[in-house]
Amino acid sequence: MEKAPTCRCRRRRFHYLYNVVAVTTLMMLQLLSPASASSLSFNFYAISCPSAELIVKNTVRSASSVDPTLPGKLLRLLFHDCFVEGCDASILLQGNDTERSDPANKSVGGFSTVDSAKRVLEIFCPETVSCADIIALAARDAVEFVGGPSVAIPTGRRDGRVSLGKNVRPNIIDTSFTMDEMMKIFAAKGLSLDDLVTLSGAHTIGSAHCSAFSDRFQLASNGSFLPIDAALDHAYAAELARQCPAGASDAVTVNNDPVTPSLFDNQYYKDLLAHRGLFQSDSALLRDKRAMEKVQDFAGDQNNFFTSWEQSFLKLVSIGVKVGDDDGEIRRSCSSVNA
C-alpha cells in the first residue's frame, strides 16, 4: 500500500525529465536547422562561424590604416546598397545595367574591402556569411574605427539575386535634393525625419567630388567666384572654389567636414549651423523647424547624436532585408550570383 505513491512519484519525475530533454533537444534543433535563418538575430554566426565579425573588423581596420578615406566609402556603400532593393549586397553585382554600373554609383568605393573580407571568410567558413552582412558589419566597424559609437547589429541577411541600374536614381538621395524630396525617399524606406537628420551625420566623414556641389557657386572669367547659394558661408564658398577650380580633374575631392574630416563626431552639425554644409541637401536641414531643432541638439551634445545614431543605424541596416533561402542566397563571390 505504501509503494504505490513512490511509483507514481517516479513516473512523474520520469515524465518531467523526459519533457525537459525533449524541449531542450527541440530548441537545439531549431538553432541548428535552416529555419533559424528565417530572421535576423544577434550573434547569428555564433555556431556556424564564430569569428565572422572579428574577421570583418580586422579587415576594415587593416584597410583603413592604409587608406584613411575608406571609412567614409564603406558607410556610403551601405547607404547606396540598402536604399536600392534593401540591404542585400545587390550593389556588388557586376554586369551591364546593374546598380554598380549606373553612373550614380560611379564614385562609390569600398568594394575591394568587402571582397577581401569575403575571401577570408570563404576559407574559414565557406558558403556561410553573406556579402550583405559583410557590408553592414564593415560600415559599422568603419564608424567605430574613426571614433564613432560601436553598434551591435543583428545578422542573417541573404544576398539578393536582382540588381538593376534603373532602380538606382529613383531610390537614392541626390546632393541637390530639397527637404521634401529627401523625406519622400526616407519615408518610403520606413525612416523618419529624425532618422534623416541623424543619418545625414554620416557626412562628418568622407569626401565628395567637385561636381557634387560646384553648382552652389559660379567661377568668373577673372578666376573669382560668384556665390549662387545664399545658404553657403561666403568664405567657405571661396575656399571650395579654390579647391575646385574650373576644369578640375574628376579625381579632385573635398572633405565633407572641413574641420575634423577623419573623425566621426558631431562637427557636421556645427558646420551646418555655421552655414558650411557641403551639399544643398545638407543646408536643406536648416529650412525645416523640426530638423533644425535636432541639428542644434546634436551640435551641442555629441552623446545625443551618438545615441540617436545607434538607433537610426539599426533601422538603416534592416531596410528590405532578405532572410531565408527563398528570398536570397549566400553568394560564393560577392560580384556574381551563384550558378
Q: Which residues are catalytic?
A: 80
Residue type present at position 224: S
Question: If you ran DSSP here, which 8-state letter would residue 206 be given?
Answer: -
SS3 218: strand
142: left (phi over 0), alpha (psi -120 to 50) or beta: alpha
What backbone phi and psi angles, to 5 degrees, belong to 24?
A: -60, -45
The alpha-carbon radius of gyration of the chain (Å, integer) is 25
User: What is the dihedral sign for C-alpha 255, 258, 261, 264?
Assistant: negative
Range 165-182 burial, b when 16+ CB lie within 10 A, else e: bebbeebbbebebebeeb
What CA–CA distance (Å, rounded) separates 121 from 55?
7
Q: Are 153 and 136 in contact (CB under 8 A)?
A: yes
Q: Which string of DSSP letters, residue by residue, matches 1-60?
A: --HHHHHHHHHHHHHHHHHHHHHHHHHHHHHHSGGGGGS-BTTTTTTT-TTHHHHHHHHH
Range 193-204 burial, b when 16+ CB lie within 10 A, else e: bebbbbbbbbbb
Q: What number of other Cβ atoms are within 10 A of residue 316's Cβ? A: 25
What CA–CA distance (Å, rounded) separates 27 from 310?
31
SS3 254: strand
